[in-house]
Amino acid sequence: MSVTFFFCMHKLDIIPLQNKNCKTLVIQDASIYDILFPVTNTILEIKPPGQSCFIPFNLLTGWCSKTFNCVDFNLCCLSDEISVLPDGIWEIKYSVDPNVATMIEGSYMRVCQLRAQFIKTIGVFLSNKHNYNKKEIEQIEKEFMEINSLIEYSIFSAEDLLDSTSAIELYNEASTRLKRFNNGNFSGCCI
């Protein structure tokens, strides 16, 4: 007599989106659910940067996308104006029943505010590009590429390498260089 064991074959996957609205965090469900097993007790747990514990969200079965704001994370009051969510490393867990056995977790490096400042700086440069000579333009464009690379490397370090220390260092370096650039302390730049 043979005994066959069936195991839940859900392939969980979620995607935190790098959106341009710094007041929201959007997470999409990209999971593949086994039709032979019910999907119940869907729980998304999120820990914002600087917080000590995860905040659980019970989701409806069949959810596709969920948008969060500062109220959801107790980072502002419902009566306050919705404020921007912090940049940094967000820890996220997603599970379905049986939750201990069917769970994924990972880090998400949010760079929304830094990216918005970066885009604004590029816009100012482009509107004043005629004020620079060719060599200055090349220097500025090179600095933009290096800052963008630092931002991307910070995301890669946090999400793929799981190296939060390196991710924060890269983010901080990009932020410092962008501030130096905006303060006119970059050689060849008068923005």
The CATH number covering residue 59 comes to 2.60.40.10
Predicted structure pTM score = 0.85
DSSP, collapsed to helix, strand or coil, labels residue 37 as: coil
Residues 121 and 47 in one domain: no
116 belongs to a structural domain: yes
First to last CA, the chain: 79
Q: What are the backbone dihedrals phi and psi of residue 34, each rounded to the nearest 5 degrees, phi first?
A: -70, 120
Residues 79 and 89 in one domain: yes
Residues 100 and 133 in one domain: no
Lowest mean pLDDT across 105-114, 158-167, 178-187? 178-187
Residues 18 and 82 in one domain: yes
Q: Which of 110, 141, 166 is at the close of a domain?
A: 110
**Domain hosting residue 61, numbered range:** 14-110
Mean pLDDT of the chain: 89
74 belongs to a structural domain: yes
Cα distance between residue 154 and residue 173, in whole Å: 10
DSSP, collapsed to helix, strand or coil, labels residue 32 as: strand
Cβ burial 23-58 (10 Å sphere, 16+ → b, else e)? bbbebebebebeeebebeebbbbbbbeeeeebeebe
Q: What is the mean pLDDT of residues 73-101?
A: 88
Which pLDDT belongs to residue 191?
43
Q: Which of 94, 110, 126 is at the close of a domain?
A: 110
Q: Which of 90, 110, 130 is at the close of a domain?
A: 110
> Using omega within 30 degrees of 0 as the cis cutoff, is the peptide bond preceding 98 cis?
yes
189 belongs to a structural domain: no
Residues 105 and 33 in one domain: yes
69 belongs to a structural domain: yes
Q: How confident is the model at residue 184 (pLDDT cuts 50, 70, 90)?
A: low
Residues 79 and 122 in one domain: no
Residues 52 and 93 in one domain: yes
Residues 86 and 25 in one domain: yes
Cβ burial 122-152 (10 Å sphere, 16+ → b, else e)? beebeeeeeebeeeeeebbeebbeebeebbe
Residues 18 and 95 in one domain: yes
Residues 116 and 94 in one domain: no
Packed helices 112-127 and 134-159: angle between N→C axes, nearest 10 degrees: 170
Residue among 110, 91, 103, 102 nearest 162 (CA): 91
127 belongs to a structural domain: yes
Cα distance between residue 88 and residue 159, in whole Å: 11
Check whether 31 has a pLDDT greater than 60: yes
Number of domains making up the chain: 2
Which pLDDT belongs to residue 135?
94
